[in-house]
Amino acid sequence: MKALTFESYGKSPEIAITHVPLPTIKPDELLVEVHAAGLNPIDNMITTGTFKAVLKYELPAIMGSDLSGVVIAVGKAVTRFKAG
Percent of the chain scored above 70 by pLDDT?
Answer: 100
Q: Torsions phi, psi of 42, nearest 5?
A: -65, -40
Q: Around Cβ 60, how many Cβ atoms within 10 Å?
A: 15
pTM of the model: 0.78
What local confidence, expressed as pLDDT, does residue 56 receive?
87
Work out the mean pLDDT of the chain and round it to a whole number: 94
The DSSP symbol for 46 reads H
3-state secondary structure of 3: strand
Alpha helices in 1-84, H assignment, sequence order = 41-48
**What's the rounded mean pLDDT across residues 49-56?**
92
Beta bridge partners, 19, equal 2
**What's the rounded mean pLDDT across residues 8-26?**
93
Q: Distances from the Cα of 41 to the Cαs of 22, 68, 78, in angstroms?
A: 26, 18, 30
**What's the rounded mean pLDDT across residues 16-42?**
95
What local confidence, expressed as pLDDT, does residue 16 receive?
94
